[in-house]
Structure 1
Amino acid sequence: MAGESGLRARGAIFGVLMVVWAVLTACANPYQYYEGTGLHDATKAEVAGGWENVEGTRVVLREDGTAVLEKLDGQDFDFEDGWRLSGTGTWQLTDADGGQVVRLALTARTRVERRIPATATATSAPEPSSTYAWSFYVDRDQHDKLKLFFFYGDPDIGNTYVMTRETGS
């Protein structure tokens, strides 16, 4: 009997440890705690200029640190609200251990649009703030050209919103 109760106790402890491990790792994924691309060689002059994505978003980063945004979607879970912001703002290229990041801040909103088709939560989503901030990771593609991106939606999925150099820029 003593051997059987000890086996049950070890089984119970093992079961509890497995539940704790499952809870601790359930939300962990490589994108949730993304630390950057490791890129450190982009210059402000190289980042300045026009950027676009396939959804019709356009961002112009001027060398003087000002920016013009057209139809830029929200980052992370804000993307699910379905709004797209246009206006003017500021930007800066920062560098940390994980790599370079473009910090873009909308300071004067001129327009709010809804992405079509809107997500289910977007129809009842609150009006976005008149100011907003994005953090774009800086990376290079296979041709050594810069690209900017951020994650959108659920961080467990790892969807990226990619901006490439505007055609003709």
Structure 2
Amino acid sequence: MAGGSKLRARGVIVGVLLAVLTVLTACAGPSQYYEGTGLHDITTAEVAGGWENVEGTRVVLRENGTALLEKLDGQDFDFDEGWRLSGTGTWQLRDDEGGQVVRLSLTAGTRAERRPLATTTDASPPESPSTYAWTFYVDRDQHDELKLFFFYGDPDIGNTYVMTRATTTAPPSK
């Protein structure tokens, strides 16, 4: 019987350790420890131009470091607030250890609107920041085309907000 008690005690200890590890890693979603795409050879000229996503967001990154934004959602948990920002700002391509990123800052907002949500009937403008900064990771798709993305919502889920080259050349409205 003494051997059975020791075995049971070890089983309890292992179970407790597994439970502790589960709790410690429960909030370690993909975006929290994402280190980048590993790309280090992209030029500013390659990133400059028009970008869009399927939600109607449009961004123009000019080679002189200025930017036009239309209906750009917040990243990470800010996305859950439901606002979309339009206006002007600045951008720069930076080379971080894990890969290149685009830092985009809204410096003069012209409009804030609510993202269409199935669960709300409130059409009033959402409470939104007057300035905001995004960090887009720079990557290439399966066709070697550039794409920009950031994580949004709950970091445990790892949702990505992807921007691809704009199919039209018209700048976003002001």
The reply to whether TM is greater than 0.5 is: yes
- 1:107: Cα distance to partner? 0.6
User: SS at the partner of 1:135?
Assistant: strand
User: SS at the partner of 1:70?
Assistant: strand
Q: Classify 1:76/1:69 alpha carbon distance in 2 versus 1 (closer, same or farther; 3 Å).
A: same
For 1:123 and 1:7, how far apart are their aligned partners in 2? 62
Match of 2:29 in 1: 29
Q: Which amino acid aligns with 1:164?
A: T
**Contact 1:82-1:118 within 8 A present in 2 as well:** no
- 1:82: Cα distance to partner? 0.8
Match of 2:164 in 1: 164
Match of 2:154 in 1: 154
For residues 93-126 of structure 1, give each alpha carbon's deviation from its aligned partner in whole angstroms, at most 9, with x where no partner exists: 0001211000000011110011112656x98996
For 1:118 and 1:64, how far apart are their aligned partners in 2? 39
**Contact 2:112-2:125 within 8 A present in 1 as well:** no
- 1:18: Cα distance to partner? 1.8
Match of 1:55 in 2: 55
Structure 1: gaps (5+ residues): none
**Contact 1:61-1:67 within 8 A present in 2 as well:** yes
- 1:19: Cα distance to partner? 1.5
Structure 2: gaps (5+ residues): 170-174
1:1-169 equivalence runs, <5 A: 2-117=2-117, 127-169=127-169
Q: Classify 1:124/1:167 alpha carbon distance in 2 versus 1 (closer, same or farther; 3 Å).
A: closer
For 1:113 and 1:17, how far apart are their aligned partners in 2? 47
- 1:25: Cα distance to partner? 2.2
For residues 115-163 of structure 1, give each alpha carbon's deviation from its aligned partner in whole angstroms, at most 9, with x where no partner exists: 112656x989961110000000001112211110111111111111111
- 1:12: Cα distance to partner? 2.9
Moved over 4 A (4+): 122-126
User: SS at the partner of 1:15?
Assistant: helix
**Contact 1:82-1:119 within 8 A present in 2 as well:** no
User: SS at the partner of 1:94?
Assistant: strand
Give the TM-score normalised by structure 2.
0.87
- 1:78: Cα distance to partner? 0.7
* Number of residue pairs the alignment of both structures matches: 168
Q: Which amino acid aligns with 1:85?
A: L
For 2:10 and 2:126, how far apart are their aligned partners in 1? 51
For 1:90 and 1:123, how far apart are their aligned partners in 2? 29
**Contact 2:76-2:151 within 8 A present in 1 as well:** yes
